Amino acid sequence: MKEKVIAANFKMNKINSEIAGYFNVFLNNLNEFKNTVQKDPFADSEIIFAPPFTSLAETFRIISSYSGNISLASQNIYHENKGAYTGEISLDMIKSCGCAYAIVGHSERRNIFKEDDELISKKIKAIYCSENIVPILCVGENLKVREKGLQEDFVGKQLEKNLAPVREIVLDNPVPLVIAYEPVWAIGTGMPIKPEDGENMHKFIYKFIKSDFPEVDLRVIYGGSVTGANIETLMGMPHIDGVLVGGASLDPVSFSDICKSAVK
């Protein structure tokens, strides 16, 4: 995996006909920026887009013609291959649309759609048992847990439960894994984590995962009210490898600004 990961999560926003216009602006901004510098500023970075399922193919069509490190992610998957699972989307389906990543366990899936740790762990297992998809596993505590200072304990348990069934696979293998640390109280609230607090949690996640799985190719990215105003300080933290951006990724100018600042 590339050193830095800058991901956009469109959530349930944008219809197909809005995608081309978005990328027209986004890619132009990126190209203009690239032309002002000598070395490709994004050479060590990967920009990932997670549009709704309905726009995966259209997004892939557009990013495929761009010569840069831009990849596609699904916002969710179901762990079964095929069958009578109305409304669900399998790994083969997202692969056929060009996805290289899959977000799993986003707090909105956990809270609104009641996905529990067991289901999330099945999804992670399905990803590692298939090929060519990298999981972006989201974890993070709610405000009550943070106020009690129990965030490490909480996130540690989430990681333990969500990764338990893939122990054998991940143990001595350099498989890629992205953890998105997204404190629930920071998502969509305009209240991002303090960079030092984020650094502490990311350090904890690194230590936690690496002590169990020393070989894993790990990136720990932060999500929760990331904007152009805080991206540089967040990315300045040694254990913050990237960001997962929701609201501020919906506007191509603001997201291209975030991408540019992330690689400064």
Nearer Cβ to ligand PGA, position 146 or 170? 146
Nearer Cβ to ligand PGA, position 170 or 248? 248
Q: What is the closest distance, in whole angstroms, from the C-beta atom of residue 88 to ligand PGA in the complex?
A: 21
Nearer Cβ to ligand PGA, position 106 or 260? 106
Q: Angle, nearest 10°, between helix axes 56-64 and 16-35? A: 30
- Cα–Cα distance between 199 and 5 in angstroms, integer? 16
Count CB neighbours of 10 within 10 A: 22
Is 139 within 8 Å of 104 (Cβ atoms)? no
Among the listed residues 108, 115, 182, 199, the single catalytic one is: 182
Q: What is the closest distance, in whole angstroms, from the C-beta atom of residue 248 to ligand PGA in the complex?
A: 6
The reply to whether 88 belongs to the active site is no
**Long-range contacts made by residues 242-246, C-beta under 8 angstroms, separation at least 24?**
242/4, 242/5, 242/6, 242/7, 242/45, 243/5, 243/6, 243/7, 244/7, 244/9, 244/103, 244/136, 244/138, 244/180, 244/182, 245/6, 245/7, 245/8, 245/9, 246/9, 246/11, 246/187, 246/188
Instruction: Record the tokens describing residue 198, joined without a space.
Output: 């984020």
Strand pairing of 242-245 and 101-104?
unpaired
Nearer Cβ to ligand PGA, position 72 or 248? 248
For ligand PGA, the nearest residue by Cβ is 246
Q: Which amino acid is at 4?
A: K
Residues near ligand PGA (CB under 6 A) are 9, 182, 187-188, 223-226, 244-248
Q: What torsion do the CA atoms of 237, 182, 201, 45 make, to the nearest 10 degrees?
A: -30
Q: What is the closest distance, in whole angstroms, from the C-beta atom of residue 247 to ligand PGA in the complex?
A: 3
Nearer Cβ to ligand PGA, position 246 or 252? 246
Q: What is the closest distance, in whole angstroms, from the C-beta atom of residue 250 to ligand PGA in the complex?
A: 9
The reply to whether 182 belongs to the active site is yes
Among the listed residues 46, 106, 108, 141, the single catalytic one is: 106
Q: What is the closest distance, in whole angstroms, from the C-beta atom of residue 51 to ligand PGA in the complex?
A: 13
* CA 238 to chain CA centroid, nearest Å: 18
Active site residues: 106, 182
